């Protein structure tokens, strides 16, 4: 069964995420996520992105967008992009599976 992919750019709007050295995490999360979204779409993958602009999402809104994209199904892969500073350094990709 073909996988469906939800790309989630972490943070956004009033939630900047990590800030340092002139870098604002939410902006890079969005750029990285848009690249992944466009690339997967061009390859014919069913893909959805939780935000395409610098928009504030509550945790509930974010989860609802994830769940509404393709439903809560085992064939949906969720990729939430973050760039960490502090306890964990560097780039990370978290794959969230809501269903087994």
User: What is the binding site for Zn ion (CB under 5 A)?
Assistant: 10, 17, 82
Question: Residue holding tokens 């800030």?
Answer: 19
Look up residue 78 and give its DSSP letter. Answer: E
28 vs 37 by CB, closer to Zn ion: 28
Q: Closest separation between CB of residue 100 and Zn ion, Å? A: 26
Would you say 12 and 55 are in contact if contact means Cβ atoms under 8 Å apart? yes
| Residue with nearest beta carbon to Zn ion | 82
Tokens coding 99? 């269903």
> Of the two residues 42 and 95, which places its CB atom closer to Zn ion in the complex?
95
Given a contact cutoff of 8 angstroms between Cβ atoms, the answer to whether 33 and 8 are in contact is yes
Q: Between 14 and 42, whose beta carbon lies closer to Zn ion? A: 14
Smallest distance from the beta carbon of 29 to Zn ion, in angstroms? 7
Provide, rounded to whole angstroms, the least separation between the CB of residue 12 and Zn ion.
10
How far is 25 from 94, CA to CA, in rounded Å? Answer: 15
């Amino acid at each position: 069964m073909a996988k469906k992919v939800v790309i989630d750019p972490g943070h956004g709007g009033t939630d900047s995420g990590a800030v340092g050295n002139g870098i604002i995490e939410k902006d890079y999360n969005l750029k990285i996520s848009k690249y992944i979204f466009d690339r997967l779409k061009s390859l014919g993958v069913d893909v959805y992105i939780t935000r395409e602009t610098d928009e504030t999402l509550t945790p509930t809104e974010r989860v609802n967008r994830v769940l509404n994209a393709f439903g809560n199904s085992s064939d949906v892969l969720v990729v939430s992009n973050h760039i960490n500073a502090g306890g964990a350094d560097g780039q990370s990709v978290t794959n969230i599976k809501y269903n087994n």
